[in-house]
Structure 1
Amino acid sequence: MNVLVVVSHPRKNSLTFQVTDRFVQGLTEAGHGYEILDLHEVSFDPVLRGMDEPDYTQEHQVFSPEIETEMERLKKHDAVAFVFPLWWWHLPAMLKGYVDRVMNNSFAYGTNKLHHQQILWIALAGVTEEQMQKRNYGESITNLLNVGIADYCGVSHSSVEFLYETLDAKPEHYEMLLNQAHQLGLNYAKNHTLQDGVSRI
């Protein structure tokens, strides 16, 4: 399987990128290929402008060269993984802009759907699991990503994995998170089943 790994964080030395490194190490050990798309490194513009707003009166949509490039990149892969910090219980603006602009009408939804076998969302959360569940944040986020985005775009095999307490300064805790990311890479190709918006590896 060939996996596109989309990463959203402004700092290369962040835990987000360390998690990405361990995740793709797992992918490699499991025999998969991958490409990392660093949204900040390519200076991806997250702002949806007129050229990339769907024209629903047209059967065939034409987008800006930047977006056409990213659509072609997605087409080359069998599956997708997103790695990002959870900010305000949501995707970072850069990644949300990627979804808004690239996963667009007539490409990812509407007359066409994504062809990918599965999507994995790896969300780094500063809070504890108990804090995440306190007001059903975890359930809401999972439903948004698995159903509101992935399933809407035709990918029923989608799962959200939270890496908790990323602000914990203890080295052993960071190593536990990195090991979790490594296991996600190793197990990426295993089938999941979507149930009530929650897909578990």
Structure 2
Amino acid sequence: MLKKGSEDTNMKVLTVVSHPRKDSLTFEVAEHFVKGLTEAGHEYEILDLHEIGFDPVLKGVDEPDWSVAEQPFSPEVEMEIRRMKEHDALALIFPLWWWHLPAMLKGYIDRVWNNGFAYGANHLHHQHVLWIGLAGVSKEQMKKRNYDEMITHLLNVGIADYCGVSNSKVEFLYETLDSHPNHYEMLLNQAYRLGLNYDKGH
């Protein structure tokens, strides 16, 4: 459902959320993020990949065909491509599993950010991409083996820039396994501020 901000300005932000549970911290982060978007005057749509039953497995019909500039895809992928085209910018909110995107979100990118739409003959038209990754570890643990740099490079350069979006930013919410109320509040405030300052931090 498309939600309108308080004023007719700024961007329509497709907010893709990948977590199997609605009562997860990931979804709380998403709710606070879009609250910030709304207060900043943006519009948004939350796309819950699990709720729509998105199939992350790429099958032959959606395999990139490098011999053509544009190609038809499965109805499910074509629908998601249309959804992306209706928005000016993107946000992806997800837990960090094995130092990477969850399989559901990776499969969404595999299938939807496809040849002739996101790369190849055409590229994504979106002004910004924001990746919000929830990490169970601390900032120091992430930096110890340069996981933060590797993940940031993969998402900003390997995916977003390859698809034509140079304004891409990765934000980590750390120590998400710490259930202390004050820490949760800090993480949710961080998410809210990322929404409120969405078009200022890129």
Q: Which residue of 1 aligns with 2:41?
A: 31
- Equivalent residue number for residue 151 of structure 2: 141
Alignment correspondent of 2:4: none
Q: Percent identity?
A: 73
Match of 1:188 in 2: 198
Distance 2:127 2:113 in 1: 16
- Match of 2:172? 162
In the superposition, the TM-score normalised over structure 2's length comes to 0.94
Aligned residues: 192
Which among 129, 152, 171 is matched to residue 139 of structure 2?
Answer: 129
SS at match of 2:121: coil
Say if 2:85 is the partner of 1:107: no
- The equivalences for 1:1-201 within 5 A come to 1-190=11-200, 192=202
Q: Give the SS at the match of 2:162.
A: helix
Letter in 1 for 2:88: D
Computed over aligned residues only, the root mean square deviation of the Cα atoms, in angstroms, reads: 0.6
Query: Any conservation in 1 of the 2:92–2:131 contact (CA below 8 Å)?
Result: yes
Q: Which runs of 5+ in 2 are unaligned?
A: 1-10
Q: Secondary structure at the match of 1:74?
A: helix
Aligned-pair distance for 1:191? 5.1
TM-score after normalising by structure 1: 0.94
1:95 is aligned with what amino acid? L
Deviations 1:114-170 (A, max 9, x none): 000000000000000000001000000000000000000000000000000000010
Q: Which runs of 5+ in 1 are unaligned?
A: 193-201
Mapped to 1, the partners of 2:159 and 2:66 lie a distance apart of: 19
Q: Residue 105 of structure 1: CA displacement?
A: 0.7
